[in-house]
A and B are shown apart, each in its own frame.
Chain A
Amino acid sequence: MDIVQQLKEAFGNLTAAKLRTLLAILGILIGVASVVAMVTCGEMATQKALDQFKTLGTNLMSATFYSSSGATTDANKFTLKDAYNLKQEIPSIKLLAPYTTTFSAINYQGKKVNGSTIGATENLQKILHLHILQGRFISNLDNYEPYAVIGANVYKTIQKTGVTDAVGKQIQVGSTIFTIIGVAKPWPESQFFNQSINNSVIVPIKTSFVLSKYTSINNMVMAMEKNYDIDKATTKIKSYIQKSRKGAQAYVRSAKKLIASMESQNEIYTLLLGLIGGISLLVGGIGVMNIMLVSVSERRKEIGIRMAIGARRRDIQLLFITEAMILALFGGTMGVIIGIGTALAIAYFANWDFHIFWLPPFIGFAVSAATGIFFGFYPAYRASQLDPIQTLRSD
C-alpha cells in the first residue's frame, strides 16, 4: 500500500473521531511543550548567570582576607604595601585592586541614602570595567582627598532633589563631607564582586582608612594574564598572604572555576526540569496508547473486513501505527511551538534574554515521534493479531 494513500486513510480515521484525536494530541502536546519550555528556560537561566562575565571577562580572580584568630589586628592586617608586593611576587597578575568596605550612614542634603562605602584604587575601574557617566573615577593621586564617585542608584536618589549634574555636589559619609567627582554608569551585578557598585559611594582607599579605624583591606580583585594557571595562582596568593602576615588567611576564587561550577549546577538543574517535562510526555504517551487501544476495540469489525479482503497482519499493524505516528508528530510539532512560546513568555516576565536553543525542540520532536512508535506499537500489534472470524462476527 502506498504511503500517500496510507496517510490519507489514517487522517480520515483520525478526523472521524475528533474528540478522541484531540485528547490524544493534547496529551502529547502538553508533554512536548513542557519539555521544550523547561529545558529552554534552564538554558536561558544558565545564559543569564554567565552573562555577568561577558563584561568582566573570565580572567578574573578575587581574594577575601580573614584572620584565623577571628580578630583583625594591626599585625595581621593586609596593607597596600602588601598588595604591591604581592603583584611583584606573582607575575601572572596583570592588575590588582585591593578595596575596603565601610558601612557608615550616607546623607545627601540631609536625605538618607542607602548604600555602603568602598575604598578603592584606580585599578578597580579597569578590572571591573566601570564606565563613568559624569566626571572621573578615583585616581591614585587622590591620596587622602575627600573625593567620592557615586554609583548609579545613589545618583538616582540625588536626582530626586532636582540635581542633574552631581559633580561638585557634596555628600556626607559618616561625619565627613565628600565632594562628588564622578558618577558611575549602572554596573551589572556580579557574584564575583561582593559589593553592589550601584549602591556605593567609592572613595580613595587611603581616605577610607581615615573614615573609621576599623576599616581594613578585606578584599581584592585581580585581572590575570591570559592562560594563567588557576591552581598555581591560587596557591601562590594563599601562601604569600600566610607568609607575609601572621595568622592571615585568604579565600581565593577564580571566575573560570565559578563559571565551571555554575555550568555544572545548571546542567543538573536543566536535566531535572527536562525530567519533569519527560514525565508529562510519558503520561501523554500512555494517553495515546489508551486511545489507540480504544480505537482498536471499537474497530474490530473494520479490522475483520480488511483481513477478509486481503490485508495481511502487517497491513493492519501499519494502519494503526500510522495513526499513532500522526497523533504524536502533530502533537509534537504543536508542542514545540507552544513550548517555545511559553519559554518566550517566561523569558519576558523573568527579564531574561530570549534565545531559541535548537536542542530542546529537536529532542522534543524526536521524543514525540518515538513516543508515537512506542505507544502505538502495542495497540497496533494487538489489532494485527486479532482473529478475522471473531472480528467479523463482533458488533
Chain B
Amino acid sequence: MSVIKLDKIRKSYFPGDMEFQVLKGLDIDIKEGEMVAIMGPSGSGKTTLMNILGLLDRPTDGRYYLSTREISTLDDDELASVRGRMIGFVFQSFYLLSKLNALQNVMLPLRYQSTPLNEAKERALKMLDRVGMGEHTTHKPTELSGGQQQRVAIARALVTKPSVILADEPTGALDTKTGKEIMDLFLELNRDEGKTVVIITHDPRIGAQCKRIIHIEDGEILKIEYNK
C-alpha cells in the first residue's frame, strides 16, 4: 500500500513576472515499510520536495495522496492536524524547544492532538526508552550532546505513530561516528518495526544504506537506484 503517492507535482515561484519552476512534475510512489533516500545536489529542489511531502508547503499543481488521502483540499488547520498525526519530522539541527526538557519535547506533538496528559507522558517515556534516552528524560536540550538531541528528536517524531518519518539531513550536524549511530537507529526502526522512512540527503554514504534512492536534479527525477 502506498503511504505517499505524488502525481505530477509541480512547484513554481513567481519572483516578479518570471516563473521559476522548482519541481517540474514529479511522480513518486513510496510504499509502507520502505526506506527511501531522496538525493540531489543543492538547488535540485529536494528541500522544496520535503516541505511538500511534510505538508509544510502546498504544490502549485498536481496531486498528493498521503495514505490515500488527497491533501490539496485541506485547509491550514486540517493540514496542521494531518501533519501532526501522520508526519514525523527529523531535522538536521534537531529543532528541540530549548525551554522544555527531553520528556516535554517528546510530549509536545501529543499535546497538540489533545492526548490525555497521562497517556502522553507514558507514550513519550516509552519512546525515549526506545531510542536509548530513557536516562535523560529531564535533561534540557542544552545539556545533551548532538547525537542525544537527535535521538530525542526521533522520539518526538515517532511518538505520534506517524505514517512516515521525514528526515532532512538527519546526520548532517553530527560527527561520523554519531551519524552512523543515528543512521543505525533509522535502519533498525525500519527493519524491526516496519516504519516508513524518507531521508533527504546529499551524502551518498547515507543514500547507500537505503533500499531505494531517488536522484533529483533541476526539479526532475534523474534516476532511481535500488540497493540490496
Contacts and interface: CB of A to CB of B under 8 A. Distances in A.
Pairing of A with B: yes
A345 interface: no
A302 B97 contact: yes
Interface string A290-314: 0000000000011011111111111
Contacts of B108: 306, 309
A302 B84 CA distance: 15
B56 A309 contact: no
Cβ-closest 7 pairs across A and B? A310-B84, A312-B80, A309-B109, A310-B112, A312-B77, A305-B95, A388-B56
Contacts of A341: none
B101 to A, nearest CB: 10
Contacts of B91: 392
B56 A1 contact: no
A314 B56 CA distance: 16
Nearest to B88: A309
A186 B109 CA distance: 76
B77 A1 contact: no
5 contacts: A5-B111, A13-B99, A305-B96, A308-B83, A392-B91
B54 A310 contact: no
Interface string A305-347: 1111111111100000000000000000000000000000000
Contact of A389 (B57, B84, B156): B57
Contacts of A5: 111, 117
Contacts of A389: 51, 56-57
Contacts of B76: 312-313
A308 B160 CA distance: 13
Contacts of B84: 309-311
A315 B99 contact: no
Interface of A: 1-2, 5, 12-13, 16, 301-302, 304-315, 388-389, 392
A310 B82 CA distance: 7
B89 A12 contact: no
Contact of A314 (B77, B99, B100): B77
A164 B158 CA distance: 95
Given A309-B84, A309-B112, A310-B85, 15 more contacts: A1-B112, A301-B95, A304-B95, A305-B97, A307-B56, A308-B89, A309-B156, A310-B83, A311-B80, A311-B84, A311-B112, A388-B56, A389-B51, A392-B56, A392-B91
Interface string B50-72: 01001011000000000000000
B113 interface: yes
B154 to A, nearest CB: 13
Summarize A's interface: helix, strand, loop or mixed. Answer: helix
Contacts of B112: 1, 306, 309-312, 315
A149 B3 CA distance: 107
B45 to A, nearest CB: 14
B81 interface: yes
B176 interface: no
Contact of A310 (B96, B99, B109): B109
Interface in B23-60: 51, 54, 56-57
B203 to A, nearest CB: 20
A392 B95 contact: yes
A313 B111 CA distance: 15
B114 A1 contact: yes
Nearest to B109: A309
A202 B77 CA distance: 86
Nearest to B113: A310
A244 to B, nearest CB: 87
A253 B113 CA distance: 73
B156 A312 contact: no
Given A305-B95, A312-B76, A312-B112, A2 B89 contact: no
Contacts of B85: 310
Interface in B105-126: 108-109, 111-114, 117
Contacts of B100: 12
B81 A310 contact: yes
Nearest to B84: A310
A314 to B, nearest CB: 7
A308 B99 contact: no
A392 B56 CA distance: 10
A67 B156 CA distance: 96
A1 B54 contact: no
A307 B80 contact: yes
Contacts of B97: 302, 305-306
Contacts of A16: 99
**Looking at A302, A313, A388, which has the most chain B CB atoms within 10 Å of its CB?**
A388
Given A313-B77, A389-B56, A389-B57, A308 B95 contact: yes
Nearest to A8: B104
A2 B117 contact: yes
A1 B99 CA distance: 18
A310 B80 contact: yes
Contacts of A12: 99-100
B56 A308 contact: yes
Contacts of B83: 308-310
A310 B161 CA distance: 13
A12 B111 CA distance: 16
Contacts of A307: 56, 80
Interface in B148-177: 156, 160
